Amino acid sequence: MVLPTTAEAMEAAARERMSAVAYAFYASGSFAEVSVVENVTAWSRWHVRPRMGMDVRTIDISTTILGTRIELPVFLAPCGFNKLAHDDGEFGVARACAAEGTVQVLSSATALLPEEVAKVTDAPKWFQLYADNDSGVTDERVARAEAAGFQAVVITVDTPALGIRYQGLADFEAFLQELQGKEIVAPILTFCERLDWAELERIASTTKLPVVLKGVLHPDDARLAPEHGASAVIVSNHGGRQMDGSIPPALALPDVVEAADGRIEVYVDGGVRTGVDVLRALALGARAVLVGRPYLWALAIDGEAGVRELLVRFKGEFRNAMALAGQTDAGSVDPSIVVRAT
Amino acid sequence: MVLPTTAEAMEAAARERMSAVAYAFYASGSFAEVSVVENVTAWSRWHVRPRMGMDVRTIDISTTILGTRIELPVFLAPCGFNKLAHDDGEFGVARACAAEGTVQVLSSATALLPEEVAKVTDAPKWFQLYADNDSGVTDERVARAEAAGFQAVVITVDTPALGIRYQGLADFEAFLQELQGKEIVAPILTFCERLDWAELERIASTTKLPVVLKGVLHPDDARLAPEHGASAVIVSNHGGRQMDGSIPPALALPDVVEAADGRIEVYVDGGVRTGVDVLRALALGARAVLVGRPYLWALAIDGEAGVRELLVRFKGEFRNAMALAGQTDAGSVDPSIVVRAT
Amino acid sequence: MVLPTTAEAMEAAARERMSAVAYAFYASGSFAEVSVVENVTAWSRWHVRPRMGMDVRTIDISTTILGTRIELPVFLAPCGFNKLAHDDGEFGVARACAAEGTVQVLSSATALLPEEVAKVTDAPKWFQLYADNDSGVTDERVARAEAAGFQAVVITVDTPALGIRYQGLADFEAFLQELQGKEIVAPILTFCERLDWAELERIASTTKLPVVLKGVLHPDDARLAPEHGASAVIVSNHGGRQMDGSIPPALALPDVVEAADGRIEVYVDGGVRTGVDVLRALALGARAVLVGRPYLWALAIDGEAGVRELLVRFKGEFRNAMALAGQTDAGSVDPSIVVRAT
Amino acid sequence: MVLPTTAEAMEAAARERMSAVAYAFYASGSFAEVSVVENVTAWSRWHVRPRMGMDVRTIDISTTILGTRIELPVFLAPCGFNKLAHDDGEFGVARACAAEGTVQVLSSATALLPEEVAKVTDAPKWFQLYADNDSGVTDERVARAEAAGFQAVVITVDTPALGIRYQGLADFEAFLQELQGKEIVAPILTFCERLDWAELERIASTTKLPVVLKGVLHPDDARLAPEHGASAVIVSNHGGRQMDGSIPPALALPDVVEAADGRIEVYVDGGVRTGVDVLRALALGARAVLVGRPYLWALAIDGEAGVRELLVRFKGEFRNAMALAGQTDAGSVDPSIVVRAT
C-alpha cells in the first residue's frame, strides 16, 4: 500500500514524480478553471441517508456495462499519453484493469496502435474515438478498433474544438518535447467540428460495436442519443478541460437519467474521489462511474501497481459504502438514499 | 473551572494531553472526513427566533428518556476506550453522570465488564450493544447487561462494517499498543452484517429492557423502528465515522421526527456543542441530545471532574438558552422558535 | 475627518485606544459568537435594485420616530458604560446626538442618573429600561425617567437573563476594576425573569410615555406588542450578546413588519454599517435603524466629535444611497428595490 | 501575446505599471466594495449545459448593436481618463476597437473633445453622456456628439450623484495632481440629479441618434425605457462604483430581459472576464456585453496593442465557448444552455 489516502495527498505525491509540464497538462482545466474544482465539490452536495436494518452479508459490487461484467462499478476514463505519468503507460493501465476486472477506455491520444494495447491482455476494453471531419478517416479508426477486438466505441462529443487551456498548455513547445522525450510520437489530433447527430448516427451504422457518447450534460442530448444509435452516454465535462463553468456532472446526472428514461445506460465522470461518490452516482441513476485523474496520479506514483492499488481501494471503499448504506446490489441502489444538500 | 470555553480550544487543550494515536482515533472520521465538520456547522443552519414576554422564573430543564429522569436533556454517547483520554476512564465518566443526574451510555468498546461499570454508581445507565453475527453471542450480551442493571439497550445499527478511517487508524499497530499501554485488553469487536429488522425485533423480544436504535438517518427507518420493537431512535451518523457525507443529524432530525410520529422517542447526536444547539434539537422535536467528543475532551483535560464541569456547563448554557428563548419546559419547546437559515 | 472609512478599520482603531477588558466587553457576543458576525453579513443578503429616471434634487432623509423628528433615520442604541470607551461618555454622546439631530437611547447600564443626562441637552432622548422582578422598582425607574423629560421608554425584552458571554466577561473581576477606574459605580443590574406580557402591559399603563419593546425577532411577538400597550418594536438580537445563533435582524425584519401590520412602528438594530444598510432596512419596512458598536468605536477614537462625525457620515451615505436608488423620502422607500440574494 | 491569462494576473501586472492613485481610482468601488467582487463571482452562478451533436464548422460570432455590426458581441464600456492607464489613452483604445471591429463607448470623463476622438478612426463609435442639471448644457453635448459622427448616445442613468468611494478617491488632491501630470484637464463633472423620465424622453427627442440607458437593474425601468425613447438599456451597476450591494448584473439580467420583452436591445456590463461569461450573457438574453476594467488593465500593460490583444482573446474565447456549447450564431444562442447553480 503506497498510495496516500486523501485525494489531495495523492495528487501532491504524483506531482513530485512528474515533470512540471506533464503535471500541468493533466491537472489543468480550461478558461478560468472553475470546473476542475467544482467537479469534485459538487458530489458533497448530495447528502447520503443510509438505510439500516439490512442484511449486508452478501454484497454484489459488480455490475455490467453494455453487457460486459466489471468487478466494481468503476472503470477508467480515456486519458491521453499515459506514459507522461509513468513508463508503464497504457500497457500498465491495461494490465491493472485486467487484473482487477474492469474496463480501460483507451484514449486515441496515444502513439500506441490500438492493436498493440489490445494484445496486452485478454480483458474486454473499449476504444475512445475522436471523430475526424473526414468521415473516411473516422470510419477507418472505428473499423480498426473493431478488428482489434475492442468491445465498444466511446465517441467523445464534447470536443468540436480543444477547450482553451491557458495553464495546461502554456508552453506548448515544451509539451511536445516532453512527449518526444517519452518517445511518444503523438498522432495529429483532429477535432471534428461537423460531428452532428446525422454523422453520429452514420458512424454507429458502420460498426457492430455499441456506441457510447462521452460528454453529455444537457438532458435534450440524452433524449436524442438513443434515437441516433447510441447505447449509452457518459455525463462528463471532460474533467473541466472543455466548457469551463459547465454544470458539474454530479449535478447534471439526475436530469440526464430522467431524460434517458431507461432506453440507454448512463455513466458519469468528473470529480469522483471516494467510494461514497460512487454510491451517490449509482443512487442518482448512473450504472457506473469513470475516473480519470486519480488513476493518472496512481500511475505516476507506482506504475501498474499503483493503478491496481487504486482499483482495490475503490472496491474496498465502495463495498464499505454499500454496507453502510444498507445496499447489497450495485445494480439496484435505492434512489431515496441521496438527498440534495440545501 | 478549567475547561476552555470554545469547542476548538477544548479540543486543542485535550489534544495536548493525549497521545497522537489516541487523539487521531477520537478526532477522525471516515473517508474524506466531510461529515466531522458538517455535523457541527449544520446546527447553525437553524436560526433561533426567541419568544419574548414570557415569565421564565421557573424553568424545568430536566426531562425523561424512556421514563428515566435526567437533570438536563443531554446524556453521554457511547464512546470507546475512555481510558485513552484519561485514567479515570469509564468509571470516572459514570461517576460524573451520576453526580450531575444524567445517563451514561456505556460503549461495548471497552475492556471493562458491564458489571464492573454498573457497580460504580447507583445511577441509571444504558448499555450500548454491538450485535454479533452469532445471535447467541448477542443474546448473552443483552442478558448480561440486563442482569447487571442497565436500563436500556442501545443497539448501534449503523455499523454493519467499520467505516474506513484512513486518518484515525492510519497506524493500527500503534493503536493496539496504545490500548495495551493503558491496560485495555480490547474485546474483539465483531460487526454484525446480518442485523436486519427481523433480527432487531428478535433481540428486542429477548429482553425486558427497552431497545433504542442508534444511527437512524432515513425517515423510513424511523417508521419501521416502532414496528420492530424499538422504543426510541438516535438520529446519528456516528460522529462522521461511518458513512461520510451523510446528511448531518441536525438536518436529518425533522424528517425523522415527522416519520416517528410520536410513536417512539427521538434523540439526536452529532455536532452538539452549546446549549443553543440543545435548544435547537428540542425545538426540532428531539427529546434529548447525546454528546460524544466534547466529553472525551473534557475527560482528557480534567478526568471525572472535567466531565462534571462539562455537564454543569451544558446545564447552565441550556437553562440560559431556554430563558432567552422564553421557554420554561424542556419537554415542550415551541417548534416555531427555529427556522431554517436560507 | 478622523474616522477610518471601513467598519473593520474603525473597530481596529478603537481597539488600540481602549483597554483589553473594555474592548472585549463591547466586541464580544454570547456562546459561540456566531451572531456577532452574521448580523453584519446578513444585510448583504439583500440585493438592491435601484430605480432610475427619478428626480432626486430634493431628498428628505429625516423621518419621525413616535412623532419625534430625527434628521436621519438612524439613532443610537442603548449601550452600557460609555465611559469605558472615552471620558466623554454618555454626556458626549448626548451632545453629539443633539448636534446632529437624532435621538440617544440612554442605557440603564450607566452610573449616571437619568436626570444628569437629561440636563446635558434640550434634545429629545429616550430611556432604556431594564425592568426589575420587583414591580415597584420598575415603576420608580419609569416615573423618574418620565419626570426627567425622556420621551419614550425602551423596554429591553430579550434579557430575562444575561446571555452567557465567555469572551466578553472572561475576567469579571478585571471588568469591575475597569469600571471603578473610570469612576463608574455600576448600578446593580437585575434581570427581570418575570417580564411577561401582563407585566409589560402594566408598565405601559403606569406612564404617559410611549413604550418601545427592544429585542423582538418572532412575528408572533410583533402581533402581541400592540395588544399590550407597545407603540413600537425594535427588531434586535442585542448585538449577538443574548441568544447566539438567532435569526439576524436583517432577515427577521420582513416577517416582523408583516406581523406588525402598520399598527406599531418597527425599528431594527444589529449589523448596520453603511448607508446602504439603512436603505435596505427602510425598504424592508423599518422606520429607522439603531446603531450600537459603531458609535462606541467612534467615541473611543475621537470622543463626542467622533460620534458626530459618524452621524454626519451616516447622513452622507444614506443620502447618497437614496439618490442612487432613486428615492426621495426616507418615510416611503419603495419596497421593490430590495430582493433576496439567492 | 503579452497579457497574462488570468484576470487576477492581468490586474496585478497592470497595477505594477500604474501609479497607486490611478490604480485605486480604477480598481475601487463604493461604500464597502461588496459589488466589485460579487459582479465577477455572480457569473459562475450560471452553470452552462452545452449541446452536443451540432455542426459547428461555421460560427458567426459577430452581431449587431442598434444596427451596427460588431465582429464580436463585446464592446468597450465608457471608462474615464484612459491616459491614467497608458499614454495611448482614448486614441489608442479607439484604434484598437477599429482594428478589431467593435465599438468604443467614449466616456465623457475625458479632457478630449469628442471631435478629436471621432477623427482618429472611421469606425463607428458611441458617445457616453453625463446629462447636466441644465438642459441646455446637456443638449449642447448631445448635438456636438451627433455632429462629430458618433452613432449612439449612451446616457448614464445611475449617477444622480457620485457613489461614495472611500478607497478610490481617498486622496482627491493627489488624484487631481495625477490627472494634471498626464496633462488631463478634466472637464468639470456635473451629476444630473433631475434626470427623470421626462428629461430622458426630452433628450432623446433632440437627436436623431438612438439613445441607450446605462445603469438599469430594476425590471420596471426596463419597461419604462422604450416608452421614453430609449432604444436599448445596459444592465450595469457601474462596476460596483455607485450603489454598492446592488444586484449583480449577471443576476439582474433575466428579469430585465423579460421586462424589455423584445422592444429594446439589452446589453450587460460588470464582471465579464471570459468568453464563457459572454456566452452566458447571450444565453440569458443580452445582445452583447461591455467590458471595462479588463481593457484598462490591457491598456496599462501594452497600450493600444494590449487592448487589441484583449479583443482578439475575447474573440478566440467566445468562438471556442460557442463551439463547445454547440452554438453557431451569436444572435440566437439557445437559452436552455444556462441553468442557475443551486
E strand intervals along chain D: 46-48, 63-65, 68-70, 74-76, 104-106, 125-129, 153-156, 211-216, 230-235, 265-269, 288-291, 338-340
Instruction: Provide the pLDDT for residue C312.
Output: 98
User: D224 to chain C nearest CA, in Å?
Assistant: 9
Residue B186 has pLDDT above 80, yes or no: no
Q: DSSP states of A21-70 as a string?
A: HHHHHHH--STT-HHHHHHHHHGGGEEE----S---SS-B--EEETTEEE
Candidates B227, A258, C252, D285; CA nearest to C267 is C252
The owner of cell 444585510 is C43
Full residue range of the structural domain in which residue C60 is found: 7-337
Sign of the torsion formed by the C-alpha atoms of C309, C315, C317 and C318? positive
Q: Which amino acid type is present at position B243?
A: M
Q: CA C131, CA B63: separation in Å to the nearest integer?
A: 31
Q: Which of B56, B276, B341 sits opposite C31 (nearest CB)?
A: B276
Q: How far is CA B11 from CA B276, B295, C268, C310, in A?
A: 19, 10, 37, 41
From the list D48, D52, D55, which residue is nearest A245 (CB)?
Answer: D48
Q: Give the pLDDT of residue C188.
A: 55
Q: Which chain C positions have a beta carbon within 8 Å of B280's beta carbon?
A: 245
The size of chain B, in residues, is 342
Q: Per this entry, what is the length of chain C?
A: 342
Residue B168: which pLDDT band, with cuts at 50, 70 and 90? confident
pLDDT at B156 > cutoff 60: yes
pLDDT in tens, B69-110: 999 999 999 999 999 999 999 999 999 999 999 999 999 988
Amino acid (one-letter) located at B257:
V
> Can you tell me the distance from the alpha carbon of D149 to that of D145, in angstroms, rounded to the nearest whole number?
6
Dist. CA D295–CA D79, nearest whole Å: 9
Q: Sign of the CA dihedral D252, D257, D260, D263?
A: positive
Contacting residues for C321 by C-beta, under 8 A, at least 6 apart:
C274, C275, C276, C278, C279, D31, D243
Q: Which residues pair with C230 in a beta bridge?
A: C211
For residue D227, pLDDT beyond 70: yes
Cα of B104 vs its chain's centroid, Å: 9
Asked if C109 and C99 count as a contact pair (C-beta separation under 8 A), the reply is no
Q: DSSP assignment of C94-120, as one string?
A: HHHHHHHT--EEE-SSSSS-HHHHHHH
Q: Which residue out of A34, A212, A218 would a mutagenesis test of the D interface target, given it has the greatest number of D Cβ atoms within 10 Å?
A: A218
Distance, in Å, from the CA atom of A308 to the CA atom of B280, rounded to the nearest integer, reads 47
Q: How far apart are CA A113 and CA A119, in angstroms?
A: 10
* Chain C neighbors of D221, CB-CB under 8 A: 51-53
> In the prediction, which pLDDT does A189 show?
67
What average pLDDT does the segment B328-333 reach? 98
Q: Identify the pLDDT of residue A339.
A: 98
Spatial separation of the C-alpha atoms in residues C292 and C308, rounded to whole Å: 14
Name residues whose C-beta falls within 8 Å of residue B166's C-beta, 6 or more positions apart in sequence.
A5, A6, B31
Classify B227 in phi/psi space as left (phi over 0), alpha (psi -120 to 50) or beta.
alpha
Q: In this structure, is residue B1 part of a structural domain?
A: no
Which residues of chain A does B31 touch, with a Cβ-Cβ cutoff of 8 Å? 274-276, 317, 321
Decide if D22 is inside a domain: yes
Alpha-carbon distance of D163 to A245, in angstroms, equals 32
Sequence-distant (6+) residues with CB within 8 A of B188 are none
pLDDT of residue A170: 82
Look at residues D165, D294, D263, D270 and name the one whose alpha carbon lies nearest to residue D217: D270
Q: Would you say residue D298 lies in a domain?
A: yes
C-alpha cell at C306: 467622533
Among D120, D110, D115, D123, which Cα is nearest to D145's?
D115
Local structure of D89: helix, strand or coil: helix
User: Does the CA dihedral C197-C259-C46-B48 come out positive or negative?
Assistant: positive
Comparing C-alpha atoms, which of B328, B247, B336 is closest to residue B58? B328
Burial category of A225 from C-beta neighbours within 10 Å (exposed 0-12, middle 13-18, buried 19 and up): buried
Q: Do chains A and C touch by CB distance (3+ pairs < 8 Å)? A: no
Report chain C residues touching chain D, CB-CB < 8 A. 5-7, 43-44, 46-57, 273-276, 280, 316-317, 320-321, 323-326, 336-337, 339, 341
Question: Of A154-158, B111-115, B221-225, B318-322, where does mean pLDDT reach its minimum?
Answer: B111-115
B2 inside domain: no
DSSP C44: G
Going by pLDDT thresholds of 50, 70 and 90, the confidence category of residue C187 is low
Please, are residues A269 and A290 in contact by the beta-carbon 8 Å criterion?
yes
| pLDDT above 90 coverage of chain C, percent | 90
ipTM tops the 0.90 cut: yes
- Overall average pLDDT of the D275-290 stretch: 98
Is chain A in touch with chain B: ≥3 Cβ pairs within 8 A? yes
* Confidence (pLDDT) at C316: 98
Contacts of D321 in chain A (CB under 8 A): 31, 243
Chain B residues near residue C163 by CB distance under 8 angstroms: 320, 324
Report the candidate in B263, B177, B184 with the shortest Cα–Cα distance to residue B224.
B263
Active-site residue flag, D86: no
Integer CA distances (angstroms), A45 to A293, D232, D234, in order: 21, 40, 35
Residues contacting B186, CB < 8 A, separation 6+:
B81, B109, B111, B176, B179
Q: What is the CATH number of the domain that holds A271?
A: 3.20.20.70
Taking CB atoms and an 8 Å cutoff, what residues of chain D touch A200? 53
> Helices C89-100 and C293-324 sit at what angle, rounded to 10 degrees?
10
Q: Identify the band that residue D119 occupies on the pLDDT scale cut at 50, 70 and 90.
A: very high
Residue D191: band (very low, low, confident or very high) from pLDDT cuts 50, 70, 90: confident
CA distance B327 to chain C (A): 11
* C6·D197 Cβ contact <8 A: no
D1: in domain: no
What does the block give as the cell for C197?
Answer: 406580557
Alpha helices, DSSP H, located in B151-248 = 172-181, 197-205, 219-227
Chains A and D touch, contact meaning at least 3 pairs of CB atoms under 8 angstroms apart: yes
End-to-end CA distance of chain B: 37
The answer to whether A294 and A64 have CB atoms below 8 angstroms apart is: no
Contacts C52 to D, Cβ<8 Å? 157-158, 213, 215-216, 218, 221
Residue pair C35/C29 in contact (Cβ under 8 Å)? The answer is yes
Contact call for residues D1 and D305 (beta carbons, < 8 A): no
Nearest CB to B243: which of A6, A50, A56? A50
Element (H, E) at A231: strand A230-235
Q: For chain D, how long is the longest CA-to-CA vector?
A: 59
Residues B172 and B37: beta-carbon distance below 8 Å: no
Measured between alpha carbons, how far is D40 from D291 in angstroms, rounded to an integer? 12
List the one residue out of A99, A100, A158, A102 whose CA is nearest residue A128: A158
Number of domains in chain A: 1
Is the CB of A220 less than 8 angstroms away from the CB of D53?
Answer: no
Buried b (16+ CB within 10 A) or exposed e, C69-91: ebebbbbbbbbbbbbbbbebbbb
Q: Which residues pair with D234 in a beta bridge?
A: D214, D267
Cα–Cα distance for residue pair D228/D226, rounded to 1 Å: 5
Q: What DSSP letter does each residue of B216-230 carry, written as one string?
A: E-SHHHHHHHHHTTE
H-helix segments, C155-260 = 172-181, 197-205, 219-227, 249-260
Q: Is residue C1 part of a domain?
A: no
Any domain includes C342: no
pLDDT at B245 over 90: yes
Residue C261 three-state SS? coil
Asked whether residue B53 is domain-assigned, the answer is: yes
C325–chain B nearest CA distance, Å? 26
Instruction: Give Cβ neighbours of residue A122 (< 8 Å, ≥ 6 apart).
Output: A98
Which H or E element spans position B288? strand B288-291
The residue of chain A nearest to residue D273, with distances taken between CA atoms, is: A32
If you measure CA to CA, which chain D residue comes closest to A248?
Answer: D47
- Measured distance CA(C259)–CA(C218) in Å, rounded: 9
Mean pLDDT throughout D46-57? 98
pLDDT, tens digit only, all 342 positions of chain A? 799 999 999 999 999 999 999 999 999 999 999 999 999 999 999 999 999 999 999 999 999 999 999 999 999 999 999 999 999 999 999 999 999 999 999 999 887 888 999 999 999 999 999 999 999 999 999 999 999 999 999 999 999 999 999 988 888 888 888 988 888 876 556 989 999 999 999 999 999 999 999 999 999 999 999 999 999 999 999 999 999 999 999 999 999 999 999 999 999 999 999 999 999 999 999 999 999 999 999 999 999 999 999 999 999 999 999 999 999 999 999 999 999 999
Stronger pLDDT, B168 or B271, i.e. the higher one:
B271
The rounded distance, in Å, linking the Cα atoms of A95 and C68 is 85
Which of A217, A215, A200 is closest to A256 using CA atoms?
A217
Q: Which H helix or E strand runs over B128? A: strand B126-129
Kindly list the residues of chain C whose beta carbon comes within 8 Å of any beta carbon in chain B. 31-32, 34, 133, 157-158, 160-161, 163-164, 166-167, 170, 193-197, 199-200, 213, 215-218, 220-221, 224, 228, 242-248, 251-252
